[in-house]
Amino acid sequence: MTLEEFRRRFAQSTPPAASLYGDEGPRPDPASLKPAAVLVPVVARVTENVSSPTILLTRRAAHLKDHSGQVSFPGGRVQADDASPEATALREAREEIGLDPGRVELLGRMPEYLTRTGFRITPVIAIVTPPFELRRDANEVEEIFEVPLAFLLDPANRQRQSREWQGELRWFYAMPYQQHYIWGATAGMLVNLSNQVGQGRL
């Protein structure tokens, strides 16, 4: 999918009323969850004069209390002085990876994603235009990398896996890519994005 096609499909799409989860069991009460926001950065890469967008992801530092070592989008908890989820996502992206908000074009939001680890996440979709320089905060981010948008939106590249958590078998989406294991909430939000822009359901 080219950047132009992605932009058009996202603009014309109707967001679903609620997120789709790998584990379709009961979700937590949204009122009990901590609000958070993530930036879903679609990078406007061009290869040999052909649009070849990617999605920028991070691997969280191993010592963090929440989701340590996992692949994630730049983002975090909403602060009292954040005016909106967009403000939270941009602030966190600057703090975590040094992304200049001036290189970011906000496209819109997806439905909130409720996690069983206590967060109510608003995914904010954006286009990021090179050139840009990133600077990771080593206290929060172990690695910054990019994955082709076409790979992440292709239903053929998503899996349903399971593991035991707090005595229960929990199912989740996973999208292994090279040495990276993309799973859980990050993979779930990517599945929702794929469905929203018309790439089909699993």
CA separation for the pair 122, 120 (Å, rounded): 7
pLDDT digits (tens, 9 = 90+) for 49-62: 999 999 999 998 87
Q: What is the CATH number of the domain that holds 150?
A: 3.90.79.10
- pLDDT tens digits for the chain (202 residues)? 899 999 999 999 998 888 989 887 778 899 999 999 999 999 999 999 999 999 999 998 876 666 556 899 999 999 999 999 999 999 999 999 999 999 999 999 999 999 988 999 999 999 999 999 999 999 999 999 999 999 999 999 999 999 887 778 888 999 999 999 999 999 999 999 999 998 644 4
The amino acid occupying position 200 is G
- Annotate the chain with DSSP letters as a single string: --HHHHHHHHHH----SS---SS-SPPPPGGGSEEEEEEEEEE--EETTEE--EEEEEEE-TT-SSSTT-EE-SEEEPPTT--SHHHHHHHHHHHHH---GGGEEEEEE---EE-TTSEEEEEEEEEEPSP------TTTEEEEEEEEHHHHH-GGG-EEEEEEETTEEEEEEEEEETTEEEEHHHHHHHHHHHHHTT----
Q: Examine residue 189 and state whether it is found in any structural domain, yes or no.
A: yes
89 vs 37, 124, 130, 166, CA distance in Å?
5, 7, 19, 30
Q: Residue 52 is part of which domain span?
A: 3-196
User: How many Cβ atoms sit within 10 Å of the Cβ of residue 31?
Assistant: 6
pLDDT of residue 202: 40
pLDDT reported for residue 67: 55
When divided into structural domains, the chain yields a total of 1
In-domain check, residue 202: no
Q: Is residue 201 part of a domain?
A: no
DSSP bridge pairs for 141: 60
Per-residue pLDDT tens for 90-118?
999 999 999 999 999 999 999 999 998 89
